[in-house]
Amino acid sequence: MKEYTDYDLSGANTFRMKVRCARYIQYDNAKELESIDWDSLPRPVRHIGGGSNLLFTGDFPGTLLHSGISYVKYVDMGFDDVPVMAGAGVRFDDFVENVCRNGLWGAENLSGIPGEVGAAAVQNIGAYGVEVKDIIKGVVCFDTRTRSMVKFQTCECDYGYRDSLFKHSDGRYIVTAVLFRVSRVHGPRLEYKGVRESLGLGPEDSGESLTPMQVREAVMSLRNSKLPDPEVLGSAGSYFKNPVVDAVTFARVIDIARREFGADVTVPHFILGGGMVKIPAAWLIDRCGLKGVREGGAAVYERQPLVIVNASGSATPSDVLALETRVIAGVRNRFGIELHPEVEHL
């Protein structure tokens, strides 16, 4: 276990905010969590992953913990379903690549998402019609209140859209490992038109000859065409959640769009259960003329307006927050829809 005081967090967040924390602890196994003198730590105490879904709003006055638990273990009993246990500190995309190389289905649509396994389970990350909860079988945590290990089945994790029990536990549970369930059974998820097009498939093609690695490569190509590489241009990936609205609100959005942009305009959407509709936040932001706008060193990414980037390389937290406020106000004023950040603010 390694501990640091007055720690520089520039390399611990993909936004590249130049901030610090009072103490930073990286541990290598769950036992080390039990040995920490929790009562002596500077407050507040928070756990972070790869910092790919975070905006530090300033220096963090307390303690940040980070997992170095890094393993992937298969439990192959010859059944169609294959359990895989991964440590919380494993890069999530490394896990996905590992699964795909083994010819197993379930994780391929989640390729290219930055961050770590533990944070993926907390955030319920998702892309192209798949959420990570779809392949999670259980989550192992350290309970900071009882100072003991606890386990949660998927049904106990209260998973929702970019949400889970762990996001509302006030830091009580620290994910140490995640049990996934992937499959030998051929099962590409091809609901998203962009994925099918990237694979060169027609609308009626079942993709019966595809491998998980082929789908992964298509997803990676699609993501790379739209999203910035955080190693090159600082960002936290998709900054806003896609709003989910009822049918009445969606009809109002269509009416506004046709009045302002022409009677033949089409509002992209995805039908959910219960009469609810998901609208791409990127489309709303773009239609508000906000693509490429800047506040200080921060900008709405020109190739994908769902993303806010550290365009200058020296953007401050206040730059990003000002741009966030501007985007939310712009969408609210034009469409009457309130966007909410997907990125966690610390």
The sheet carrying 298-300 orders its strands as 235-238, 307-310, 298-300, 294-295
For residues 146 and 170, the answer to whether their CB atoms sit within 8 Å is no
Annotated catalytic residue, options 16, 162, 223, 287:
162
Q: Is the peptide bond before 230 cis (omega within 30 degrees of 0)?
A: no
| Active-site annotation holds for 238 | yes
Do residues 149 and 142 touch, judged by C-beta distance below 8 A? yes
Residue 76 tokens read as 């192959």
Instruction: Please indicate whether residue 67 is annotated as part of the active site.
Output: no
- Of the candidates 118, 106, 111, 109, which has an alpha carbon nearest to the alpha carbon of residue 81? 106
- Tokens 């319920």 locate to 124
- Pick the catalytic residue: 111, 198, 235, 238? 238
> Which residues lie below 8 Å from residue 245, measured CB to CB, with a gap of 6+?
253, 276, 277, 279, 337
Active site residue 235: no
Q: Go through 224-257 and write b for each residue having 16 or more CB atoms within 10 A of its CB, e for each that does not.
A: eeebbebeebbbbbbbbbbbebeeebbeebeebb
What are 64's strand-pairing partners?
A: 24, 46
Q: Which of 74, 79, 60, 80 is nearest to 13 (CA)?
A: 60
Catalytic sites, residue numbers = 162, 238, 342
